[in-house]
Amino acid sequence: MFSLVAFSGMAQISVDSTKTTLTVKEKLPTGVKTLTVYRSFVQGSGMRHQAVYQPVADELGEEPESLKLSFAEELPHIKKMMDAAMAKRQLNLSSFSFNLLPYADLANKLIDIYTNSTDWNDYVKKATNLKQTTTLFDGSEVSEVHFYAKMAKYVMDKSDFATEFDGMLKPYGYKIASIDFPEEHQQVFSADKLMVLGKNPNLFIPIPDYSISVVKIKK
């Protein structure tokens, strides 16, 4: 394992590397931010790198719903950590994963996209199976959200949401290839999160995959 520590103003950047993983941490007075880059085989593409960003020390997707960050303010931190990763190893990215829910600016834009979409509103109005109950092997029942992933993606693809990530990816020669929605274990904004953002708690807003596919920009 190789470890490198650098100081940037009040922040301390550390890079730990193994053959298959790079872990970049930025230690701030408010906590630790982490960028982890994994090298793995991607079907049809060979060996690629997958980046996972966590603005707080919690597990990805487990950030508290009360958290209200700004993605615009997060970008300089992501850039510093990406720069540190790129300086250590030449990366060939296939995806960038993070939880967009803690970022109020991204969450609000996503909510507005679906709230203002006639296609989505018509779909939700007509859908009869947005919540499904599954009986487990022990006889207990679990209620899960279920929406048409292709409709959610259709609305996403018609929007300009992907441009929010240009500042994060373009400096490294990448752009968004696709923002997808899972077919199983789907999520929507919780009533609590909607209220934290000052929105109607009854809205039905789909949450995309944490993993966003990226491709190199053709020169």
Please report the pLDDT score of residue 129 as a whole number: 81
For residues 92 and 26, the answer to whether their CB atoms sit within 8 Å is no
> Residues 105-138: pLDDT tens digits?
999 999 999 999 999 999 999 998 888 777 777 7
Please report the pLDDT score of residue 11 as a whole number: 65
CA distance 25 to 1: 15
Please report the pLDDT score of residue 218 as a whole number: 83
Please report the pLDDT score of residue 114 as a whole number: 98
Q: Which tokens belong to 95? A: 């995806």
Listed as ranges, residues in the chain with pLDDT below 50 are: 1-3, 7
For residues 83 and 196, the answer to whether their CB atoms sit within 8 Å is no
Largest CA-CA distance found in the chain, in angstroms, rounded = 57
Residue 115: which residues within 8 A CB-CB, separation 6 or more?
A: 121, 203, 205
Q: What is the H or E stretch that residue 16 is in?
A: strand 11-17
How deeply is 218 buried, as exposed, middle or buried, from its count of CB atoms within 10 A (0-12, 13-18, 19+)? exposed
Please report the pLDDT score of residue 219 as a whole number: 73
Predicted model pTM: 0.85
For residues 74 and 55, the answer to whether their CB atoms sit within 8 Å is yes
